[in-house]
Chains A and B, each alone.
Chain A
């Protein structure tokens, strides 16, 4: 099985051991994660699949250095994220992580190109902003402001922005959640292409099982647990997905 080969050949990017996350919501404790252990490997495309409230966003936030677990440890390469302070986490995000959000989160006062340049200017070894836009097919719209772009175009700018720093990992939280099918597929194509061409370790959160078909591995989350890990023997190309 190719997945086995991937697991043995490739180095582990993320190594999480028994992480739990408890939110105090007023007087109620919410167990978002209840002891999750997992590894993500270099260059792989992982989909975290689960219903809303399953803990997938919490997991992604912890991997991205936006949040820290209540217990358990997370390593990024040989760096222990769970032992890092706020400024180290900022440094970590700045140098290693590309984020894509459900609602794009572009800066409305900057053009597409400038949104990307915002990142390339602080990154250590970025690609050219125009090249990043070219990767998502938006070079011709580089000088448009977010308000002048469609939802799909905005999300593709967000992807270009995420990858322009040449991140080691690309974390996408419901990247198609706010988009229609056609546009969603275009966006997924862009993400898949980045993963293939640049070898960026990619994790995509979704509640849409169809999207899982394009992953190397699918991690199923339910009620804060890992309910199962599936390895796809054949990956379906994004343009062939339907939902």
Chain B
């Protein structure tokens, strides 16, 4: 081993505390990056393979009832590589042991041979026997939620008749990697399940022989999706098409895409924060070593080491630290990534979700950390290299101080000499002091960022499901219900309050932008399904005009007073021009609302309802469920509390895992920055402190000088960190803003308090570590040598 390398190892050993702290900070950044990128790769690869192998469709559409005879014409559309027609119906399911009904989506599979598109993967059991009546295959999450195994029986209420079905297999589908009931924002494994059933069974049950109500298409390569969609819409229009859409609007695919973009965002943000902090820590540590080793550098150069060799020596020191951080970070990242796969397996159902290591990302991590290390230390290393030997031999000039602006403001008698030392140390190197403050602030910010998602989630749930929507149940009807059906439902024993709504599929346009949405017609002053503005104030439904939710308004670029074009995709398909009368706040979905009576007028229909919102006496809720299950017209029942609970349970568990990572990382940053800063202060002021000790100052008094600085840093860093954290949260909400949901920018006081506390604790811990050194100051040797 070259002697210079041996020196490097020994220097590193001397520096072990600080080096370890920096390695940890780098590791935290690399771990997050590697985890996100590996999870990204794993999820993408698994998704792509599943989509490909099980032939996930590109375009989807549904109609009311279209004849099979139309199929050849659809197949002839240019750009269509494969097409499949099928029947899809949502029905109520009567599950033993569950009083409330669940919704089953029945999807037909061909009676002979495989489906052409959206094939199912059989996890257990078998596929339906050709032409075997009464057999179903059920989706895995739903089966798991109820403990169903092949051989079990379930009862569905199909067209008003209870029909028993035998589960023969448990399956997955690329179409339902995540199962979210339309109209709902959250998955509810227990109350929404997918059932694949022989086509003949469904045709019989719904009287659809020789007809279909759902079309899925796989596109040929290189064809424009929009043209195919237009053609499909044109051909299916007479049969009640509500408009074709591509994967971007397919729920399961959209949730996956959102998750992937979230991982991407994390992969960008984490290294930016952690490597920035690491670069700064390396900067202060290395410039300190170089100051201390001036004479050694001079000697090396005097003996003939070249500038390059000296520079490389110090850069190598830095590389050892950065590579150490990268290796540790990658390993932690792999571990976290593998854990993340476990979490994903609860949400996203694939035949096999395997963890793949993203080697290019690992390489990128190594390059990034090295770059950050070089950026952080370049100037100090250069100054060491360019110092002429003779000058370097002489000790560095005593640091010059001056009275700071601070003291001109604060009268002298308020500042003890110890505090004056602290203040002057800070003002002498304002940039370094500022960077230390920013570094500690980043720890606070990371904590705020990590916990804010929970705040946002809580607020979103509170706003959407408690403040705005106050119903207990949402009932939808298979066909628009007449007044008599409404009357029956509203007067069920146990229903306390009720409101009806009319929902209609439309395409809404403003200028060159358009979206497929459902417009909901509401009563003028709804009390169960309320509309609120951003300040949580109730918005009345005006007689005329259309109300957009904030997301739709943003997507279309339309605001109050603008005129939007609404093409109704049902019934007589009128096209209307409507003025935007209000913008309402909603955090999930893109929706529009209007006056129900007015909606009936434009649709040229009588007073009908697509669904109803019910407030139910909690003691009689089971009776209400039983009644609802018996009504043939009822298509689905959504139970708000159950949905929220099931979601909170799953999410709470995962958030807990993520939070412990984040708290750990924030502590790593805080300890890294505080410990390094204190360590450097100690090293720089060793002589001052020892002198004070010699002159009779106690350990505690001397520590004031050392820790006063750290305390000031922390006190300044906490508010700054809260502000930065808030800013990062804002960036994150903007990044995660999708059509599915928007994340409100809400940071609770508890989050700020928790973030501050973690940093305060980290500060105290590292202060204690350093303070131990004060006790061990070698008073004599410090006085004998020049600094």
Contacts and interface: CB of A to CB of B under 8 A. Distances in A.
A147 B398 contact: yes
B783 interface: yes
Nearest to B412: A114
A36 interface: no
Interface string B162-194: 000000000000000000000000000000000
B417 A93 contact: no
B523 to A, nearest CB: 74
23 contacts: A64-B694, A66-B779, A91-B696, A103-B783, A103-B786, A107-B692, A108-B398, A109-B420, A109-B421, A109-B688, A110-B420, A110-B424, A114-B420, A118-B418, A118-B695, A119-B695, A119-B696, A121-B416, A121-B417, A147-B398, A147-B401, A161-B695, A162-B695
B399 interface: yes
A145 B693 contact: no
Contacts of B688: 105, 107-109
A137 B785 CA distance: 27
A108 B689 CA distance: 11
A109 B401 contact: yes
Interface string B399-428: 111110000000000001110110011001
A93 B694 contact: yes
Contacts of A90: 693, 696-699
B701 A147 contact: no
Nearest to A107: B688
Contacts of B428: 109
Contacts of A94: 695-698
- The residue in B424, B691, B693, B784 that gathers the most chain A C-beta atoms within 10 A of its C-beta is B691
Contact of B695 (A93, A103, A114): A93
A118 B691 CA distance: 11
A157 to B, nearest CB: 12
Contacts of A93: 694-696
A111 B425 CA distance: 13
Contacts of B399: 108-109, 147
B424 to A, nearest CB: 4
A122 B697 contact: yes
A145 B404 CA distance: 12
Nearest to A95: B696
A33 to B, nearest CB: 14
Given A103-B783, A118-B695, 17 more contacts: A64-B694, A90-B693, A92-B696, A93-B695, A93-B696, A94-B698, A102-B784, A105-B688, A105-B783, A107-B421, A108-B399, A109-B424, A110-B401, A118-B692, A122-B701, A147-B398, A162-B695
B691 A105 contact: yes
- The residue in A114, A117, A121 that gathers the most chain B C-beta atoms within 10 A of its C-beta is A114
A145 B403 CA distance: 9
Interface of A: 57, 61, 64, 66-67, 87, 90-95, 97, 99, 101-103, 105-111, 114, 117-119, 121-122, 145-148, 161-162, 173
A142 to B, nearest CB: 13
B695 A99 contact: yes
Interface in B749-781: 779-780
Nearest to B697: A122
A195 B785 CA distance: 27
B412 to A, nearest CB: 9
B431 interface: no
B691 A145 contact: no
Contacts of A108: 398-401, 688
B218 interface: no
Interface in B686-731: 687-688, 690-699, 701
A149 B651 CA distance: 66
B783 A173 contact: yes
Given A94-B695, A97-B696, A117 B398 contact: no
Contacts of B417: 110, 114, 117-118, 121
A114 B693 CA distance: 17
Contacts of B687: 105
A92 B697 CA distance: 11
A161 B695 CA distance: 9
Contacts of B425: 109
A91 B695 CA distance: 10
B397 interface: yes
A1 to B, nearest CB: 36
- The residue in B417, B780, B786 that gathers the most chain A C-beta atoms within 10 A of its C-beta is B417
B696 A101 contact: no
Contact of B400 (A57, A61, A145): A145
Contacts of B403: 111
Contact of A107 (B416, B691, B696, B785): B691
Contacts of A119: 695-696
A70 to B, nearest CB: 15
Nearest to B690: A105
